[in-house]
Structure 1
């Protein structure tokens, strides 16, 4: 009888007490190799969010599980994604710096019942690869389209486009060409470079020979963008008056000190600058700088990760910590908040982020090189998205 009473008591207790669970978030990114700074910024954004908000949501504790993908590798991305779902039991996936890696992982999401929050990869079509993909970064259509308007406003008539030959580069080229020619401009030549290009001197000569007044360029942020801008200056294009126009990948803040005065006046359009003037960004920069160890290393992937953690927290709240990818994604459609970058919202139709895009000019203020915001294109959606 005593055993029966004890068993009944334990059953009653177990039915009235909610035990906290650990919810794992798997993050795939370049934490080593040439693009390790971008992975470091993923971690800085995540750690900044945890420092400000804590690692618990309701009765649940968040645990971050990292997987290193040093360079674009779709097969390895799929393998790491599968491992995180099956072996680690993650309920959420996040990160994905390069488009090919995000595209390779997307088909696994529905079978694994796991949403993916993209912190960086910027091709429009990623959201079409799975209904469980949500973006807190940007697309290159989104960041490149306003630059076409800027070029025409500044009286530029002839442009050569030079982009890396993969999804975001092709999207960036298409966005600029559509906007520029639609406004009466002329594209004199379009060039696509292999992603592994690191000697840009022949390209600079080709730009000179084209007779263009400006070059529109896109390369993924990292060593290649620094090399391209250095080659542009060292080969005399800036002095010759050939204007460089680009999305903000080409002047990420950690590269500005190395470029020095040569970068002054360069124009880019982008969704975020570390110098963005708002209370939300001041608090973010303080937390993220502590997390990364040096404010000079802070760059745009950190804000994608910071906002991504906010979205994941809302998914966890909406599902009560239960694993339900469809409900989690549904809960954040239409979600709006004030990000460190400014006001943002998740488009309920395509799960892209609607946000401001800023025209920035590299400037020297208080002894530091910054991307100074000088014009705002408000509430920009993704003009490159097409319904599947």
Structure 2
């Protein structure tokens, strides 16, 4: 689906070049429905950025315009993207929780002269969909690959993989299988689940029947991960000593109060933990939780949004408010800064974020369950990216 400039006013908007006192940023995310907490974390990250840095860049004030996309819906994502560009005159697009939604919006960007800053969607190929896409989240290749090293370091030889059957799930499976095999491990079976799966008992039986020492799992953060984790324990796999390994989506902090001892001891590899110990993260978490009103709701999409606003602010400064998407994106290639998650940079070749990946263990600290960082894989790019 292509955005077409059809009127004189819209042609002027697409051409850009006009000074603007207000820079509009359109943010698409799940602000209602089962994943609404993830959308609230987008908002929390944005509001934390404003609380710590202000809403202005030079003479320009940033205005956020939100659009709700409760579940993955590529057609609606494209429609909302066009409506934000044509109806609201946004100069920047951001958010995009699910990969299919980001992929559907990407073909619109160049003709509209608008960059997209991805706060969450995690398939490697998104950055290849348009040269105007920049990512401040992570990819599942990036967070899953180190777990193969972790498994082998702990003497695990036989693993079954279980993932949701969509872009990030397939990426996660591929990343782990490739790295685990290269390290001398054996994947005994690979299971892909429909995204609509709610009854995980048959999956748990396949894990048991496989005879694997561990299961590597990926599901999108949200209600499904809670169901999967609960089924893993209730079906006796944890009690039987089967190790559950995953990227950090399965133990997002907002789920830990409910998961509690069910998740205790679980190992995950991820780009961010709310418990990360740094001055930048302390300031960020205080500002984000002040907006949320409940510290237990803070989770990883907030840091993607916070850093996404840092990138957008840099773009606005570099272009002095002019609508020039290519120049805006060029200005952040190679950009480095200290994020709440640690040192990060934008890879100039693929516009994806380079960052530390942390091995975390779910642990009880002062009566609360946290993702406790125990090992660092420094300066990780995206091993799943292939040049177009």
Same fold (TM over 0.5): yes
Give the secondary-structure state (helix, strand or coil) at the position aligned to 2:189.
Answer: strand
CA distance in 2, matches of 1:120, 1:20: 28
Aligned to 2:337: 337
Aligned to 1:182: 182
Aligned to 2:97: 97
2:274–2:285: 8 Å Cα contact kept in structure 1? yes
Give the secondary-structure state (helix, strand or coil) at the position aligned to 2:197.
Answer: coil
Q: Deviations over 1:40-67 (max 9, x none)?
A: 0000000010111111111111100000
Name the larger-Rg structure: 1
CA distance in 2, matches of 1:115, 1:198: 36
User: Aligned-pair distance for 1:385?
Assistant: 0.1
Q: Deviations over 1:51-103 (max 9, x none)?
A: 11111111111100000000000000000000000110000000000000000
2:20–2:322: 8 Å Cα contact kept in structure 1? no
TM-score, normalised to structure 2, is: 0.95
CA distance in 2, matches of 1:184, 1:60: 55
Q: 1:19 to 1:212 in 2, by over 3 A?
A: closer
What does residue range 61-72 of structure 1 map to in structure 2 within 5 Å? 61-72=61-72
Aligned to 2:367: 367
Give the secondary-structure state (helix, strand or coil) at the position aligned to 1:163.
Answer: strand
User: Aligned-pair distance for 1:31?
Assistant: 0.2
2:19–2:321: 8 Å Cα contact kept in structure 1? no
Aligned to 1:139: 139
What does residue range 113-124 of structure 1 map to in structure 2 within 5 Å? 113-124=113-124
1:19–1:59: 8 Å Cα contact kept in structure 2? no
What does residue range 196-215 of structure 1 map to in structure 2 within 5 Å? 196-215=196-215
Q: Deviations over 1:265-308 (max 9, x none)?
A: 00000000000000000000000001111110000000000000
CA distance in 2, matches of 1:201, 1:258: 20
User: Aligned-pair distance for 1:19?
Assistant: 8.0
User: Aligned-pair distance for 1:123?
Assistant: 0.2
Give the secondary-structure state (helix, strand or coil) at the position aligned to 1:87.
Answer: helix
What does residue range 45-84 of structure 1 map to in structure 2 within 5 Å? 45-84=45-84
2:356–2:378: 8 Å Cα contact kept in structure 1? yes
Give the secondary-structure state (helix, strand or coil) at the position aligned to 1:101.
Answer: helix
Q: Is residue 2:362 matched to residue 1:324?
A: no
2:147–2:268: 8 Å Cα contact kept in structure 1? yes
Q: Deviations over 1:241-260 (max 9, x none)?
A: 10000000000001111111
Aligned to 1:276: 276
Structure 2: which 5+ runs fail to align?
Answer: 1-17
Aligned to 2:226: 226
Q: How many matched pairs? A: 371
Aligned to 2:247: 247
Give the secondary-structure state (helix, strand or coil) at the position aligned to 1:196.
Answer: coil
Structure 1: which 5+ runs fail to align?
Answer: 1-17
Aligned to 2:378: 378
Aligned to 1:216: 216
TM-score, normalised to structure 1, is: 0.95
User: Aligned-pair distance for 1:20?
Assistant: 6.0
2:20–2:321: 8 Å Cα contact kept in structure 1? no
CA distance in 1, matches of 2:111, 2:269: 38
Give the secondary-structure state (helix, strand or coil) at the position aligned to 2:254.
Answer: helix
CA distance in 1, matches of 2:277, 2:55: 28
CA distance in 1, matches of 2:99, 2:305: 16
